[in-house]
């Protein structure tokens, strides 16, 4: 018999037994309702994983100021040079939707003038407060006492920008500036020389000596690191005889590579290579080809933490009350040298 059909009979039996029967009947009904309640309840919602807490390190590592210096040298003279700088996004943890940053002024007024006309990515960046104070002429570079005092006394968002991370890819540039040669003295100078000669052991043969001389600027904020020098020569002089110091030679690409781990500020050095002429090529033709086509490409970096232009870089959380902190800066350089 169904429970619904038993209920009237149970009620009649309870009425026949009097008040005690009604009390017992009520307890049975409550127990039956409690037993059926779990089946009527909605299923529990799945637990949502909590996002990790955002730390100061996460905020500092979310943005980086990068500067790249490029130059072309011919005959020992810089014929073209300049620098590109920008604030770019790095990896940011989930939950960090935005961060503030500001570029602090340098010693040179021309650098600060270029900062005033920096291009802002309006899709992912927003200017906060007054940006003119971030590039005031005559201000002290980041890290100096005057600059630190001014930054502490200025309003929190003066000269600051908001970098939005949502939908912005890694490497997204929020602020970009360009500096001319007059605004960034060369961190490295180089000269490429070609000296034709003969092999003493083989009278009448031809050899070409290629010398690359370099000197680092004494005003560098730190040593040049991981310096790579690629020397490309024409096929007419593609027989390597010897090098000093040792280097890697690619016969297929007619390219010689030196690696210099470190060049201290003000340090000078010299790289040498002797090449032999290709069979059937006259000495004059080999000398002419080597002088016209030999080219050296130098790549280097600086220790993170300081800029080549002298500007400073600070990052803070998006909340207005969050303090600014010194942030990541990385500089690179590329130089092409011809005879």
Structural domains of the chain, count: 2
Domain assignment present for residue 19? The answer is no
237 with 170, same domain: the answer is no
Q: What is the pLDDT of residue 186?
A: 92
Q: What is the pLDDT of residue 178?
A: 93
Give the model confidence (pLDDT) of 135-157 as tens digits: 443 333 333 334 444 444 455 66
Domain assignment present for residue 143? The answer is yes
Q: What is the mean pLDDT of the chain?
A: 81
Domain assignment present for residue 5? The answer is no
203 with 234, same domain: the answer is yes
Task: Give CA separation, 324 vs 136, 150, 170, 266, in Å.
Answer: 19, 13, 22, 34
The answer, yes or no, to whether residue 50 has pLDDT greater than 70, is no
Question: In whole angstroms, what separates CA 259 from the centre of its chain?
Answer: 23
pLDDT tier at 33 (50, 70, 90 boundaries)?
low
170 with 317, same domain: the answer is yes
216 with 294, same domain: the answer is yes
Q: What is the pLDDT of residue 239?
A: 84
The answer, yes or no, to whether residue 74 has pLDDT greater than 80, is yes
CA dist., res. 11 & res. 8, Å (int):
5
234 with 286, same domain: the answer is yes
Give the model confidence (pLDDT) of 241-285 as tens digits: 999 999 999 988 999 999 999 999 999 999 999 998 877 788 888
278 with 329, same domain: the answer is no
Which CATH number does the domain housing residue 199 bear? 2.60.40.1170
CA dist., res. 33 & res. 48, Å (int):
32
pLDDT tier at 22 (50, 70, 90 boundaries)?
very low
pLDDT tier at 237 (50, 70, 90 boundaries)?
confident
Residue 158 burial (10 A CB sphere; 0-12, 13-18, 19+): middle
The answer, yes or no, to whether residue 217 has pLDDT greater than 50, is yes
Quote the radius of gyration of the chain (alpha carbons, Å). Answer: 36
199 with 175, same domain: the answer is no
Confirm if 262 and 210 have CB atoms less than 8 A apart: no
Domain assignment present for residue 37? The answer is no
60 with 178, same domain: the answer is yes
Torsion of CA 104, 185, 85, 139, to 10 degrees: 10
88 with 173, same domain: the answer is yes
Domain assignment present for residue 24? The answer is no
CA dist., res. 219 & res. 107, Å (int):
13
Kindly state the average pLDDT of the residues 205-231: 93
227 with 279, same domain: the answer is yes
- Among 213, 132, 212, 181, residue whose Cα is nearest residue 308: 181
Residue 239 corresponds to which tokens in the numbers above? 């027989």
CA dist., res. 44 & res. 318, Å (int):
36
174 with 76, same domain: the answer is yes
Most confident of the following: 93-102, 182-191, 201-210, 256-265 = 256-265
Q: What is the 3-state secondary structure (H, E, C) of the chain?
A: CCHHHHHHHHHHHHHHHCHHHHHHHHHHHHHHHHHHHHHHCCCCCCCCCCCCCCCHHHHHHCEEEEEEEEEEEECCEEEEEEEEEEEEECCCCCCCCEEEEEEECCCCHHHHHHHHCCEECCCCEEEECCHHHHHCCCCCCCCCHHHHHHHHHCCCCCCEEEEECCCCCCCCEEEEEEEEHHHCCCCEEEEEEEEEEEECCEEEEEEEEEEEEEEECCCCCCCEEEEEEEEECCHHHCEEEEEECCCEEECCCCEEEEEEEEECCCCEEEEEEEEECCCCCCHHHHHHHHHHHCEEEEEEEECCCCCCCCCEEEEEECCCCCCCEECEEEEEEEEEEEC
Residue 122 corresponds to which tokens in the numbers above? 């309006």
Residue 176 burial (10 A CB sphere; 0-12, 13-18, 19+): middle
Give the model confidence (pLDDT) of 284-297 as tens digits: 888 888 889 999 99
Q: In this prediction, what percent of the chain has a pLDDT beyond 70?
A: 75
Top-confidence residue, 152 or 97:
97
Q: How many CB atoms lie within 10 A of CB 143?
A: 14
238 with 313, same domain: the answer is no
Instruction: Give the residue numbers spanning the domain of 133.
Output: 56-185+308-333
Domain assignment present for residue 177? The answer is yes
Q: What is the pLDDT of residue 238?
A: 74
Which CATH number does the domain housing residue 100 bear? 2.60.40
Domain assignment present for residue 114? The answer is yes
Residue 116 corresponds to which tokens in the numbers above? 């005033």
Q: What is the pLDDT of residue 236?
A: 84
Look-up of token digits 């200017």: 127
Domain assignment present for residue 38? The answer is no
Q: What is the pLDDT of residue 4?
A: 47
């Amino acid at each position: 018999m169904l429970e619904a059909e038993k209920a009237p009979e149970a009620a009649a039996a309870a009425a026949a037994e009097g008040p005690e029967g009604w009390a017992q009947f009520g307890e049975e009904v409550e127990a039956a309702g409690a037993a059926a309640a779990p089946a009527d309840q909605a299923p529990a919602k799945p637990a949502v994983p909590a996002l990790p807490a955002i730390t100061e390190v996460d905020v500092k590592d979310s943005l980086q100021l990068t500067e790249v210096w490029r130059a072309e040298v011919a005959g020992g003279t810089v014929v073209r040079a300049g620098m590109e700088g920008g604030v770019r996004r790095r990896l940011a943890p989930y939950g960090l939707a935005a961060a503030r940053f500001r570029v602090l002024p340098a010693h040179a007024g021309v650098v600060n003038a270029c900062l005033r006309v920096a291009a802002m990515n309006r899709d992912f960046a927003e200017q906060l407060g007054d940006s003119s104070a971030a590039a005031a002429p005559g201000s002290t570079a980041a890290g100096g006492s005057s600059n630190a005092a001014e930054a502490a006394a200025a309003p929190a968002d003066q000269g600051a920008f908001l970098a939005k991370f949502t939908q912005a890819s890694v490497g997204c540039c929020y602020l970009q500036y360009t500096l001319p040669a007059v605004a960034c003295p060369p961190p490295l100078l180089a000269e490429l020389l070609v000296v034709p000669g003969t092999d003493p052991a083989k009278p009448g043969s031809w050899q070409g000596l290629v010398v690359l001389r370099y000197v680092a600027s004494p005003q560098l904020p730190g040593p040049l690191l991981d310096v790579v020098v690629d020397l490309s020569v024409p096929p007419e002089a593609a027989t390597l005889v010897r090098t000093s110091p040792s280097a890697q030679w690619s016969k297929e690409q007619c390219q010689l590579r030196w690696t210099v781990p470190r060049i201290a500020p003000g340090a000078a050095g010299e790289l040498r290579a002797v090449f032999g002429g290709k069979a059937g090529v006259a000495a004059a033709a080999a000398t002419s080809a080597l002088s016209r086509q030999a080219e050296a490409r130098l790549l280097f970096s600086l220790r993170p933490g300081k800029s080549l232009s002298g500007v400073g870089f600070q990052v803070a959380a998006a909340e207005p009350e969050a303090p600014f902190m010194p942030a990541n800066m990385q500089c690179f350089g590329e130089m092409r040298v011809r005879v």
